[in-house]
Amino acid sequence: MDLGLSGRTYVVTGGSSGIGKALVAMLVDEGACVATCARNVDRLAAETARIAETAADRLLTLGCDVRSGEDTEEFIAAVAERFGGIDGLVSNAGESRMKPFADTTWEDWHDELELKFASVLNPLTAALAHLRRSDAAAVVNVNAILARQPETRLVATSAARAGVLNLSKNLATELAADGIRVNSVCLGLIDSGQWRRRYEAAGPAGSFEAWSAAVAADRGVPLGRFGTPIEVAYVITSLLSPLASFVTGSSLDVGGGVGRCV
Ligand SMILES: NC(=O)c1ccc[n+]([C@@H]2O[C@H](COP(=O)([O-])OP(=O)(O)OC[C@H]3O[C@@H](n4cnc5c(N)ncnc54)[C@H](OP(=O)(O)O)[C@@H]3O)[C@@H](O)[C@H]2O)c1
């Protein structure tokens, strides 16, 4: 099936690892031009080197911290200059903060709320004029099931995620008049850089597969395992596709069936 992505331009923040990296590769495979960013430019270049070998003319990688409005404006301006426009934006860059309320300082709250909101608002603000000119503009905000099902071990992240889910719904309504669709993917446990770091920090704990299966069992994941970045990338790619032209304001869970809400 032709998803209609070929020749279009997509921005994916956080493309050097995990979900962002898988998504960049998938969009390039679909014939799209893709721009991605991360803070560590050396790692970004190394992790996208294989794509650059075959599709250098359709890939742009730049250093950018999405917390910074100025950085993000420069990044988006460079994308528009290189590819002539922007059809889609995936706000993916980020990480979570494992702390219960008693250990969460005001600084943690500020940091977490700033990251979660800035990582959506800065790229969208910078790309808005370009998205308005596209005939099939789509935004996907990468969120977490935590947005609707808070966990005490991630108290600030859960609250920030809920706020961003609420924001996404409002953006979908307001930007519909401009022909811009806005959707969210709410993730459960996905095998990515974040979880590999937690596995290493846990000390000698057997294989990652055994360790992650135990975490999945502890969290009650019906499919009994972590998801993969490619499984998430498929869902995001389908939401970006012009074929999903009547889907906006929605949020799709990618969590192996985990969920207390119906
Ligand atoms: N994996 C999960 O289980 C899970 C669950 C729920 C939600 N999520 C969300 O899914 C998204 C992708 O995470 P992942 O699991 O794929 O993590 P990951 O493997 O750690 O990748 C995160 C990516 O984002 C970049 N990044 C982080 N902070 C950034 C910043 N301020 N500015 C620009 N780039 C930044 C990282 O590169 P640099 O460090 O070089 O900047 C990296 O490329 C995140 O928003 C995460 O919170 C993941």
What tokens appear for 57 in the block?
A: 């003319």
Confidence of residue 150 (pLDDT cuts 50, 70, 90): very high
Q: What is the mean pLDDT of residues 75-94?
A: 98
Residue 80 is predicted with a pLDDT of 98
- Protein residue closest via CA to atom 1 of ligand 1: 190
Q: Which atom of ligand 1 is nearest to the CA of 189?
A: 3
Mean pLDDT, the chain, integer? 96
- pLDDT single digits (tens) 45-65: 999 999 999 999 999 999 999
Q: What is the mean pLDDT of residues 146-154?
A: 96
Q: Which atom of ligand 1 is nearest to the CA of 115?
A: 31
User: CA–CA separation, 130 vs 259, rounded Å?
Assistant: 36
User: CA–CA separation, 78 vs 82, rounded Å?
Assistant: 6
The backbone torsions φ and ψ at residue 24, rounded to the nearest 5 degrees and listed phi first, read -55, -45
14 alpha carbon to ligand 1 midpoint, in Å?
Answer: 6
Statement: residue 256 has pLDDT above 70: yes
Is 123 a pocket residue for ligand 1 (Cβ < 6 Å)? no
259 alpha carbon to ligand 1 midpoint, in Å?
Answer: 22
Is 148 a pocket residue for ligand 1 (Cβ < 6 Å)? no
Q: Which of 41, 42, 113, 194 gets mutated to test ligand 1 (max ligand atoms within 8 A of its CB)?
A: 194
- Which residues share a beta bridge with 63? 38
Q: Which atom of ligand 1 is nearest to the CA of 226?
A: 3
Burial of 205 (0-12, 13-18, 19+ CB in 10 A): middle
- pLDDT single digits (tens) 155-184: 999 999 999 999 999 999 999 999 999 999
Q: Which of the two residues, 17 and 203, has the higher pLDDT score?
A: 17
Q: Which atom of ligand 1 is nearest to the CA of 38?
A: 34
Is 175 a pocket residue for ligand 1 (Cβ < 6 Å)? no
127 alpha carbon to ligand 1 midpoint, in Å?
Answer: 20
Residue 236 is predicted with a pLDDT of 99
- Ordered by where they begin, the domains of the chain are 9-189+228-254 (3.40.50.720)
Report yes or no: 188 and 254 within 8 Å, Cβ to Cβ: yes
Q: Which atom of ligand 1 is nearest to the CA of 143?
A: 7
Residue type, 202: A
Q: Which atom of ligand 1 is nearest to the CA of 43?
A: 40
Cα 262 to its chain centre, rounded Å, is 24
User: CA–CA separation, 251 vs 211, rounded Å?
Assistant: 29
Residue 259 is predicted with a pLDDT of 77
- pLDDT single digits (tens) 101-121: 999 999 999 999 999 999 999
Residue 261 is predicted with a pLDDT of 66
Report yes or no: 185 and 232 within 8 Å, Cβ to Cβ: yes
The answer to which of 4-18, 137-151, 247-261 has the lowest mean pLDDT is 247-261
- pLDDT single digits (tens) 186-242: 999 999 988 999 999 988 778 999 999 999 999 999 999 999 999 999 999 999 999
94 alpha carbon to ligand 1 midpoint, in Å?
Answer: 4
User: CA–CA separation, 230 vs 25, rounded Å?
Assistant: 10
User: CA–CA separation, 58 vs 12, rounded Å?
Assistant: 13
Ordered strands of the 251-254 beta sheet: 59-63, 33-38, 9-13, 88-91, 137-144, 180-187, 251-254
89 alpha carbon to ligand 1 midpoint, in Å?
Answer: 15
Is 195 a pocket residue for ligand 1 (Cβ < 6 Å)? yes
